[in-house]
């Protein structure tokens, strides 16, 4: 019989719905994909048993009250809620929930936050001296309120020992997939992702905004198709000259149109796309740097070094040490 992995997800008024249901669905599908071997058993805990209204207006049902959560836990998962003010969204930090997390966290093998739930972990002292992420819109709030925490607003999720923090909102799925991979191996998580028809699978260090999403939407289908071509042929000739030939435009006119449609020049766009691909390989593989450089189209390790320093301010080796997600 499989061992049971007991997962408790905190719920409270105005909690973000997907922060709760997204990870729960990932764990349920992991059970299905492994024929029950995963052994995940998810329970929702609230101030009291019964209905809890989410920020979406949909009601969840807490299986347990906070006081009923006892014994050893595999995972304590803390989602978040926001209040909207004149200065934009602010993470809600309920002191009663903070005190409960302080009490329960020592019983858990690992603790994870989703989105602005990181603010609750920080208030409970669980992030002191650690790197953490949260939704980009409240990262400044987290850094200002908790100077002992190294806040990085860019990654999708960050692991610091047995404490994981995830960005928002849909990144809760990526965080949950990473937890599954940590438990069951890298082969199970992609199977779950395929069932969810989602990206296989975004690694922790990947930016909350991928290269295409970080650029303004294009009004031209041919530019969108070219973006797809670039993503699929990073190891090919993506010079401005080669791309202009593909677009049947003069090099000068192509560069002007591309910048107009994307907000950046062709060479800068290609470099950013290659850096993003290199980050994924550095996170998820043990490939030597010369192969990473070749697969991503840098041509040499020196060019890979130079581009990573320019784009994200670090070296390939340092990046791999920080964000490596498999052993």
Condensed to tens digits (0 to 9), the pLDDT of residues 109-140 reads 999 999 999 999 999 999 999 999 999 889 99
> Where residue 326 falls among pLDDT bands split at 50, 70, 90?
very low
**Could you report the per-residue pLDDT of 168-222, keeping only the tens digit for each?**
778 888 899 989 989 998 778 878 888 887 654 444 444 444 454 445 555 788 8
- pLDDT number for residue 126: 98
Q: In the chain, which segments carry CATH 3.40.50.880?
A: 5-196
Q: In the chain, which segments carry CATH 1.10.10.60?
A: 209-327
pTM, to two decimals: 0.66
> Where residue 266 falls among pLDDT bands split at 50, 70, 90?
very high
Query: Cα–Cα–Cα angle for 242, 279, 117, nearest 5°?
Result: 130
Residue 21 has pLDDT above 50, yes or no: yes
CB within 8 Å of 74: residues ≥ 6 apart = 4, 5, 6, 7, 108, 109, 110
- pLDDT number for residue 321: 76
> For residue 258, which of 233, 224, 232, 214 has the smallest C-alpha distance?
224
- The residue that leads in pLDDT, 2 or 76, is 76
- pLDDT number for residue 58: 96
> Where residue 323 falls among pLDDT bands split at 50, 70, 90?
low
Question: In 254-280, which positions are buried (b, 16+ CB within 10 angstroms) versus exposed (e)?
Answer: bbebbeebbebebeebbbbbbbbbbbb
Instruction: Kindly tell me the burial class for residue 64, based on how many C-beta atoms sit within 10 Å of its own C-beta (0-12, 13-18, 19 or more).
Output: middle
Residue 61: strand, helix, or coil: strand
CB within 8 Å of 43: residues ≥ 6 apart = 6, 7, 8, 9, 63, 64
- From 115, 172, 248, 296, active-site residue: 115
Annotated catalytic, 115?
yes
What is the average pLDDT across 90-106? 96
- pLDDT number for residue 322: 66
Q: pLDDT > 90: what percent of the chain? A: 66
CA distance 21 to 26: 9
- pLDDT number for residue 241: 96
DSSP result, 81-147: -EEEETTEEEE---HHHHHHHHHHGGGEEEEEEEGGGHHHHHHTTTTTTSEE---GGGHHHHHHH-T
**Could you report the per-residue pLDDT of 74-91, keeping only the tens digit for each?**
999 999 999 988 778 899
- pLDDT number for residue 4: 92
> Where residue 306 falls among pLDDT bands split at 50, 70, 90?
very high
Question: 5-196 domain in CATH 3.40.640.10?
Answer: no
**Could you report the per-residue pLDDT of 141-155, keeping only the tens digit for each?**
999 999 999 998 878
Classify domain 209-327 at the CATH superfamily level: Homeodomain-like (1.10.10.60)
Residue 218 — left, alpha, or beta (φ > 0 → left; ψ -120 to 50 → alpha)?
beta
Please state the separation of Cα 208 from the chain's center in Å. 6
């Amino acid at each position: 019989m499989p061992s049971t992995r007991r997962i408790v997800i905190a719920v409270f008024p105005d909690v973000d719905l997907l922060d709760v249901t997204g990870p729960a669905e990932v764990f349920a599908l992991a059970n299905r994909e492994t024929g029950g071997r995963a052994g995940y058993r998810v329970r929702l805990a609230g101030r009291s048993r019964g209905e809890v209204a989410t920020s979406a207006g949909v009601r969840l049902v807490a299986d347990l009250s906070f006081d009923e959560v006892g014994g050893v836990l595999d995972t304590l998962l803390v989602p978040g809620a926001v209040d909207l003010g004149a200065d934009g969204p602010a993470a809600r930090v309920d002191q009663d929930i903070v005190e409960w997390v302080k009490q329960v966290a020592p019983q858990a093998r690992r603790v994870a936050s989703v989105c602005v739930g990181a603010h609750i972990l920080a208030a409970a002292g669980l992030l002191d001296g650690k790197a953490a992420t949260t939704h980009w819109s409240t990262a400044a709030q987290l850094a200002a309120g908790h100077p002992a925490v190294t806040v990085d607003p860019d990654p999708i999720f960050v692991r610091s020992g047995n404490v994981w923090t995830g960005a928002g909102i849909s990144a809760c799925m990526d965080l949950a997939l990473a937890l599954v991979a940590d438990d069951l191996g890298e082969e199970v998580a992609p199977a779950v992702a395929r069932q969810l028809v989602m990206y296989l699978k975004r690694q922790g260090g990947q930016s909350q905004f991928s290269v295409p999403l970080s650029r303004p939407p294009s009004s031209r289908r041919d530019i969108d198709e070219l973006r797809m071509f670039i993503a699929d042929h990073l190891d090919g000739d993506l010079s401005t000259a080669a791309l202009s030939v593909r677009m049947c435009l003069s090099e000068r006119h192509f560069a002007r149109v591309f910048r107009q449609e994307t907000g950046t020049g062709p060479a800068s766009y290609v470099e950013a796309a290659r850096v993003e691909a290199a980050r994924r390989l550095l996170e998820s593989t043990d490939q030597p740097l010369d192969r990473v450089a070749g697969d991503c189209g840098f041509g040499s390790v020196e060019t890979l070094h130079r581009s990573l320093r320019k784009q994200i301010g670090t070296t390939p080796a340092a990046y791999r040490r920080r964000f490596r997600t498999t052993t």
